[in-house]
């Protein structure tokens, strides 16, 4: 019987005792993981990253240096969060109420970003909650996402717009041999586009 790989938390990281960290995960220098976080197995949280209260992460996620993952974000298995990415949680941000009093936690309702299996969020991009990033989608570096992103979509710009499709390898798809057919040059997987969404063909 083999033992589970240990959790690695460096001394300078700030990890709440109330966070659940999966086997084999690593949390690096100056990262902060708040109470109520549920992190899956084999995750990596880079230097200076912030994982907010109650955030849920699947297995095999990577959160790169200085990314800010604010609650109540939910990350599926295999999600990649690039350096300095921000997942917001306040639809109408204000430091004070209309009467001038300082806002407290009771004065606003956090809303989250949902990122589905295998999706990748490029460096310094921002996802403005509430949005959902579909499975295997890619958000280009520096993009600002203000609406839902379909599965397998490649989006870029401010605001982010779809500029193509990507496969599960992350490589942009190429037009295939029929109307609405796309092929992954890395894996040979075939996809069919219909009504703004992409579906992978089952062999």
Q: What angle do CA 168, 150, 48 make, to 5 degrees?
A: 70
Residues 86, 63: Cα–Cα separation, whole Å: 11
Residues 6+ apart with CB under 8 A from 163: 140, 154, 155, 156, 157
Same domain, residue pair 50 and 145: yes
Q: What is the CATH number of the domain that holds 88?
A: 2.160.10.10
Same domain, residue pair 202 and 133: no
152, 166 contact by CB (below 8 A): yes
What integer pLDDT is reported at residue 80 of this predicted model?
A: 98
What integer pLDDT is reported at residue 1 of this predicted model?
A: 55
Same domain, residue pair 103 and 202: no
Owning domain of residue 160: 8-166
Q: What is the mean pLDDT of each run of 10 residues along the chain (203 residues)?
A: 82 97 98 98 98 97 98 98 97 94 91 97 98 98 98 98 96 86 93 92 79
Give me the number of domains the chain comprises: 2
Query: Is the residue at 26 inside a domain?
Result: yes
């Amino acid at each position: 019987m083999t033992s589970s790989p240990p959790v690695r938390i460096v001394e300078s990281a700030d990890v709440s005792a109330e966070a659940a960290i999966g086997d084999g995960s690593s949390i690096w220098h100056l990262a902060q993981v708040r109470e109520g976080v549920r992190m899956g197995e084999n995750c990596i949280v880079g230097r200076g990253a912030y994982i907010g209260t109650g955030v849920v992460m699947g297995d095999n996620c990577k959160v790169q240096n200085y990314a800010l993952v604010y609650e109540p974000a939910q990350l599926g298995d295999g999600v990649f969060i690039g350096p300095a990415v921000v997942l917001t949680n306040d639809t109408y941000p204000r430091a004070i109420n209309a009467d001038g009093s300082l806002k407290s936690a009771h004065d606003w309702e956090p809303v989250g970003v949902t990122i589905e299996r295998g999706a990748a969020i490029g460096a310094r991009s921002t996802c403005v909650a509430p949005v959902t990033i579909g499975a295997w989608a890619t958000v280009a570096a520096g993009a600002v996402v203000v609406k839902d992103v379909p599965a397998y979509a490649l989006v870029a710009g401010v605001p982010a717009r779809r500029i193509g499709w990507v496969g599960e390898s992350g490589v942009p798809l190429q037009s295939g041999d029929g109307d609405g057919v796309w092929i992954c040059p890395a894996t040979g997987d075939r996809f069919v586009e219909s009504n703004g969404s992409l579906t992978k063909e089952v062999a």
